[in-house]
């Protein structure tokens, strides 16, 4: 989507669906789609808060593309842009960018999983969540929709509750760090913020 706001707004999803309609109408639905590059505006490589914000847009984009268009981890070519042109997504000088770490975390969790399915949280319209089913585990990536959040402003959050049969589950932040996830009486209550987190469940 050609602006530096939340990727997962309705127009972006509708645009992807229209692309799929064109592809299907031309008889090419059996061919894989490859995503080669993405760019996001930022205030320069020394602006860490701005680079962290790109985490939201990047993970959101790849999750929606997987769910709507079936673009898998193997079909993404992870590239990044700045005002000087194209650079490898993972490395700038000798350091990984925040978005690079987040995308590496994302690809690690979804690798080998099936195509994502969007989860519906009903009245909690701000919550975005995608289930990646798998033979050995299920992975849910979730976040709360929100545009740029100033550094001195609390992160907008939503409370969600899952009913789970597993006695133990795992949860991680967008950099792969463990987060608390305690199951009590078959329920798991979580606070979801604008940065993506991962819930890992036994299959």
| E strand or H helix at 130 | strand 127-132
Q: How far apart are CA 57 and CA 96, in angstroms?
A: 17
Going 79 to 81 to 85 to 90, the CA torsion angle's sign is: negative
Q: Please report, in tens digits, the pLDDT of each residue of the chain (203 residues total).
A: 333 344 556 677 788 888 889 999 999 988 888 888 776 766 666 777 777 888 888 898 889 999 988 888 888 876 554 444 445 545 566 677 788 888 889 989 999 999 999 998 888 888 999 999 999 999 999 999 876 777 788 888 999 999 999 889 999 999 999 999 999 999 999 999 999 999 999 98
The pTM of this model reads: 0.85
């Amino acid at each position: 989507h050609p602006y530096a706001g939340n990727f997962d707004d309705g127009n972006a999803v509708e645009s992807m669906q229209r692309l799929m309609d064109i592809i299907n109408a031309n008889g090419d639905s059996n061919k894989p789609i490859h995503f080669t590059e993405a760019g996001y505006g930022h205030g320069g490589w020394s602006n860490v808060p701005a680079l962290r914000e790109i985490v939201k847009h990047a993970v959101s984009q790849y999750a929606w593309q997987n769910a709507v268009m079936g673009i898998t981890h193997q079909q993404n070519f992870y590239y990044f842009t700045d005002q000087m042109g194209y650079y490898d997504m993972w490395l700038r000088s000798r350091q990984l960018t925040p978005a690079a770490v987040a995308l590496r975390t994302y690809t690690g969790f979804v690798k080998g999983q099936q195509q994502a399915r969007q989860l519906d949280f009903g009245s909690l319209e701000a919550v975005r969540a995608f289930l990646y089913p798998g033979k050995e585990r299920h992975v849910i990536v979730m976040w709360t929709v929100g545009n740029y959040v100033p550094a001195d402003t609390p992160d907008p959050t939503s409370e969600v509750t899952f009913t789970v049969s597993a006695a133990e589950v795992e949860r991680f932040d967008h950099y792969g760090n463990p987060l608390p996830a305690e199951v009590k009486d078959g329920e798991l209550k979580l606070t979801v913020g604008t940065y993506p987190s991962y819930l890992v469940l036994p299959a």
